Structure 1
């Protein structure tokens, strides 16, 4: 792409971009208000499938950020949307066995799926702090019996005050090893999550920018989805880490405060 393109729509990651450890980052509140004032479509994206959009909206509000629930797009919502498009309408409601939390089960229910432990169409694994040997064993057996294996996101670990925790990707790897089946992973860095977000907004990738703090998820998926990409240095990336990747974002900034009150045009 060459020349200048007006940015008409924005997608942004949450952690490391808008918040860090539940504290709003500089410029985040102002940027969200700017988008609201200018009536620009946007979505806040997260690979976290534990919470519903309503839950996350409340958590962000506690951090001083006003993000309506219809402006939040989780890997659970992306997974439910993807699976709904896979079901043949003539066969009736799809069925799932879920290893996950309310954010995932709510999204699947709202997409028309029935939760069952008997001959489900899909085994869907998402984030949870309550993995059980019994649930994992059930998932393994159902996949061996023919259920299709879906994972909301590939993150192998997640943060906690005490240190890292095993996350969705780690549990999915355990199930894959036990079944010999690899899952289809919907969340970042699969550009499918970004395309579903664009479809949700009715937006086009050429007029959309993606703001993220990770080269290996936000930036590569945004690039593969055909969007302008903006890397912020307020999260996990460093100048040294950027050089390890064979691709580059369209723009690198210190934080979202640099986007407040500037024009909505990016140069390739």
Structure 2
């Protein structure tokens, strides 16, 4: 099913997860109805997340527990985008990983071997179990010639108790020790969106990106050539938008407005 937004005919959708579909474990208004509409009409879509901790199956189960149904085949993580990128760079390569099962599973599925002996890449992703030993090993391997890759640049992540250091903070630590900056695959790198488009066989000219962050979702969507919609149900506010030199194609209060625009009128 296609609709028209601006001067484009839209056939496919990419959407961020946190701040768009869910927030603090609660389903946001319109999210169930929008996803149900896409599934019912056979519309191509993917739910994107920079979090590399979980596999798509894990995320699907977590979303289901919160009352929102997203099949694992409709989830695209920064870990999956990173694995796709590395497979294109060096098929059947090897990597030393600082991260969780979401990242190691994606790399295994891409044909990579996990090793701490002369790996092609050091890959840093999200984890709550960073260890001094693992970071030291990563630093030594990078100094020894391994290429430094990261799933995402986010310096902190939210928890119920407050912010915690995240992937970007560990990237910075390793950069300070090695003098090497990582190639970051996840948002705001538009490569994550291009890999998502390839995954569902979509074209940028006929795809929308829905996100709640100007500095990741919107800028990457814009650079990937997508129609961008900023929702104000997450981190961004109207005042925050004014601080950026670029603009989304649309600003709406939440995805419930999309439901009101074209789902309710089926």
Superposition TM-score tier, normalisation by shorter sequence:
over 0.9
User: What CA RMSD, in Å, does the superposition of the two structures yield over aligned residues?
Assistant: 1.1
- TM-score, normalising length from structure 2? 0.96
Secondary structure of residue in 2 paired with 1:66: coil
> Which residue in the other structure is 1:142 paired with?
141
> Which residue in the other structure is 1:71 paired with?
74
Give the whole-Å Cα distance in 1 for the aligned partners of 2:89 and 2:261: 41
Q: What runs of 5+ residues in structure 2 fail to find an aligned partner?
A: none
Give the whole-Å Cα distance in 1 for the aligned partners of 2:109 and 2:260: 37
> Which residue in the other structure is 1:229 paired with?
228
C-alpha deviation, 1:3, in angstroms: 5.7
> Which residue in the other structure is 1:96 paired with?
95
Alignment of 1:176-215 (within 5 A): 176-215=175-214
Secondary structure of residue in 2 paired with 1:141: helix
C-alpha deviation, 1:227, in angstroms: 0.2
> Which residue in the other structure is 1:57 paired with?
60
Give the whole-Å Cα distance in 2 for the aligned partners of 1:183 and 1:235: 28
Give the whole-Å Cα distance in 1 for the aligned partners of 2:231 and 2:6: 22
> Which residue in the other structure is 1:17 paired with?
20
C-alpha deviation, 1:260, in angstroms: 1.0
> Which residue in the other structure is 1:245 paired with?
244
Alignment of 1:96-135 (within 5 A): 96-135=95-134
| Alignment coverage as a number of residue pairs | 259
Give the whole-Å Cα distance in 2 for the aligned partners of 1:261 and 1:207: 21
The answer to whether 1:5 aligns with 2:4 is: no
Secondary structure of residue in 1 paired with 2:236: coil
* Contact 1:97–1:117 (CA under 8 A) maintained in structure 2: yes
Secondary structure of residue in 1 paired with 2:261: coil
Secondary structure of residue in 2 paired with 1:78: helix
Q: Deviations over 1:209-241 (max 9, x none)?
A: 000000000000000000000000000101110
C-alpha deviation, 1:261, in angstroms: 5.2
> Which residue in the other structure is 1:257 paired with?
256
Secondary structure of residue in 1 paired with 2:104: helix
Which among 33, 39, 42 is matched to residue 39 of structure 1?
42
Secondary structure of residue in 1 paired with 2:76: strand
Give the whole-Å Cα distance in 2 for the aligned partners of 1:223 and 1:108: 28
4+ runs deviating over 2 angstroms: 261-264
- TM-score, normalising length from structure 1? 0.95
Give the whole-Å Cα distance in 2 for the aligned partners of 1:130 and 1:62: 24
Q: Deviations over 1:5-43 (max 9, x none)?
A: 111000000000000011100000000001011110000
C-alpha deviation, 1:263, in angstroms: 3.9
The answer to whether 1:28 aligns with 2:31 is: yes
Q: Deviations over 1:60-92 (max 9, x none)?
A: 1111111000000000000000000001x5xxx
Relative contact order higher in (CA < 8 Å, ≥ 6 apart): 1
Q: What runs of 5+ residues in structure 1 fail to find an aligned partner?
A: none
